[in-house]
Structure 1
Amino acid sequence: MSERKAINKYYPPDYDPIAAEKALKKSAKTLKTRQKDVVTIRLMTPFSMRCLKCSEYIPQSRKFNGKKQLLPERYLNTIKVFRLSIRCPRCNHVISFRTDPKTADYVMEGGAERNGGKTVQEQGQVESAEQTLERLVRERKAADHAALGGNSGDRHEQLEARLAQTQREQQQEEELERLLLQRKRVRSSQGDSGRDSSENESDLEQAAEAALQKQSRPFRALLPPPAPVQSSRGTREPRRRTHLGCGGGRDHRVRREQ
């Protein structure tokens, strides 16, 4: 690194400081008058085109060393518009085209013509900002009108009816949850299945069915399946089996004999 940082600089014998100063002033003027908005870039053609001077066909995505220039116009006061310029590879003719943010495409300016069908702008399908806003407002109004059933005059009444319906559904859900929780507590507190527990369960089932009949069908799926119906003969308690060993059986026989 030390050999690069030379302290002493070489001046030739014919060095003229006045001429060097003039050259610096001239280069400074050229830098001041240079167009700052024009930049040399590497670009590819966004579409196929034909040169108007030599009829040379330039395919799409062909690479060129071109110029990019910032134009003073803006789209929606924020989006910048650029002009791109290239030269024909055959006759060196200048071909220019610019960006079009409105249609998300490019517009041919001069030097060549675009190959293919008509663009979106030529077809007349381009909307201005005001037209776009009007269309969105109309679509929003139509959606609100359809959501409210088509009667724009009774909007408040329809909203109140919807609110009352949702409140009723919430109350019915709370009542059903309370009944199910009460039934669960009764089952957990009474382990044996006696007459009292069966009566309580039947009362709870009737109350739950009455609550379900008042509301819509989706809430019926929340109830557990009903208890099985008892037969007409009644329920019998299972017989208790006693397992006696050999010794126990002999003692029992001896006692009977005595």
Structure 2
Amino acid sequence: MADGTMSSKFMKSAFVGWTFTAGVYYPPDFDASKLMPVKALKPRGPQMMNIRMMFPFTMVCDSCKEYNYTGTKFTAKVEQIKGESFLGLKVYRFYGRCRHCWSEFTFKTDPKNSDYTMESGGKRTYEAWKDADAMESQLKQEKEKEAAQDHMKALEQKAVDVQSEMQRIEDLDAIRTLNKRLGNRDQSIQGALDYLFLQDTQKSQEEDEMSQAELEELKGFKAEKEQTEQKKQEEAESNKETSPGVVPGAAILSAVQERANAAAKAKQPKFTVKVKRKAEDEGEGSNKKLCTEDNASTTAPTDCGGGLLGAYESDSS
């Protein structure tokens, strides 16, 4: 403590003893009415606003010759230009810096032409639409000047204006009718649905209002149909009871098989075979006897007298 240094123990105890009012001293002659308000302490003069905006046009920087394209975001400071206005609209100046070399540039608003005007630090690139708008406004001024000087041209221009106005009115009527038709679309759909529902109800009422005779005729037709179906079922059940073991259709199949066998037998051919043999007699070598025997019942050869092999005939069917 003698050398002017404070120990950690002293600093700790001092910190614990301090309060929020430590160091605040009010002298005996303190007067609160003499204090300055906070608003009076604010800086006077032109006040700058910091905003984040985009380039409204493409600009070429004068320092680095680089392009800052339309839509590029940058931070700008804005101030109101005193003494400049158009039809009560205020004019503002924007301060910004190039994205490449960080040099400053300024531009301001142009409410007369709904555009911006470059002041310093850069140049705007060529914009064709701007020249087209300027030329259109110039031609319009020239036409107005000629119409003011020449009455015939003024009359012709008036006729053209009336014709164009009539065309615009017709186009507007067409758009209105189209919008009206589209607006009434839901109503027309609902009306069509109601009409269809009404037709259905009318048809149902006509069907309900059928004559009593037609209803009785319909009932009789239904009863007759039910009787015929019931008779058919009874006949089928009776047939099943008479021949319970016979499978339906078996008799027909057996009859067809028998008829097919009979037809096959009838188609088989009938033929006769005759065999003739020559034999020499033991005693008479020159005499030859021919024995022919017809036998339809046997197929074995028979001996004809002296060792002759007779002929046989077979009939097969």
Q: Give TM class, smaller chain.
A: 0.3 to 0.5
Normalised TM-score (structure 2): 0.32
Structure (1 or 2) with the larger CA radius of gyration:
2
